[in-house]
Amino acid sequence: MKILIIEDEHSLREVIQRFLEKERYVVEVAATSQEGLRKIAMYSYECILLDIMLPDGNGLALLQQLKNMHKQENVIVISAKDSIDDKVEGLELGADDYLAKPFHLAELNARIKSLIRRNQQQGESSIVQGNVKLFPDKYEVYIENSLLDLNRKEYDILLYFMTRPNHLIDKAILAEAVWGDHIDQVDNYDFIYAQIKNLRKKLKKAEASIEIKAIYGFGYKMTTEDK
Ligand code: CA
């Protein structure tokens, strides 16, 4: 799960980043509205934390641009002033949630989890595909009733596929989602092949009814047995 923090206040941005990284998110940051927009245009994020008062413009203007770009990202507006106007306008412009500063990091995490649960898990605490059940809050995967032993990257990759069943997944997009935006600088994607190879082996050995198929020249697709 990749999150973008658009916040000019250096110390706050770092505190949020460190906290969310501990919560196992991939975190990207932007200190200005322009930098944020540039990243949003180039990459995709599961969730964007958007400050309102930015040095080069208002976060609400950025929200409007996001809407014009038809971006589907979840947005949580974080505003210094507990202004009811910002809140109303932000939500009208398509923000999914609003959090007034100062806030507790645990509260922020709860809001992010709730957004993701609503949008990617249809409100459920687990994601089910075939006989595979994944619990994002616990980072656990079960096949039938047996716990599947996965490393961190294998888990993150599987989570990405589980929320996009039967979708063609571009390997570059997958790499960015699991490793971070900087990964577009690499020469090759051998590191993904290795992780996916191991993940497939583990799924097969545990008799999972889902399969991650390679789509030549493009990337991957996770299919369920009945599809
Ligand atoms: Ca600010």
pLDDT, tens digit (0-9, with 9 covering 90-100), for 101-122: 999 999 999 999 999 888 878 8
Name the pLDDT band for 153 (thresholds 50, 70, 90).
very high
Portions of the chain given CATH number 3.40.50.2300: 2-120
User: How many DSSP H helices and E strands does the chain contain?
Assistant: 8, 14
The secondary structure element, H or E, covering residue 114 is helix 105-120
C-alpha 120 – ligand 1 centre gap (Å): 29
Mean pLDDT over 68-73 rounds to 87
Q: Kindly state which CATH superfamily the domain 2-120 is placed in.
A: Response regulator (3.40.50.2300)
Residue whose pair of structure tokens reads 């196992």 in the numeric block: 24
pLDDT at 81: 65
Share of the chain above pLDDT 70, in %: 98
Give the model's confidence band at 226: pLDDT under 50 very low, under 70 low, under 90 confident, else very high.
Answer: low
CATH of domain 127-224: 1.10.10.10
* pTM of model > 0.85: yes
Q: Are the CB atoms for 49 and 111 separated by under 8 Å?
A: no
Average pLDDT (209-222) is: 95
φ and ψ of 148, to 5 deg? -95, 130
Q: What is the β-pairing status of strands 219-224 and 210-215?
A: antiparallel
Please, what is the average pLDDT of the chain? 92
Distance, CA 111 to ligand 1 centroid (Å)? 20
Amino acid at 43: Y
Determine contact, residues 206/148, Cβ cutoff 8 Å: yes
71 CA from centroid of ligand 1 (Å): 23
Q: What is the pLDDT of residue 227?
A: 47
Residues 6+ apart with CB under 8 A from 192: 157, 171, 174, 175
Domain with CATH 1.10.10.10 in the chain: 127-224
pLDDT by residue (tens digit) across 36-65?
A: 999 999 999 999 999 999 999 899 999 999
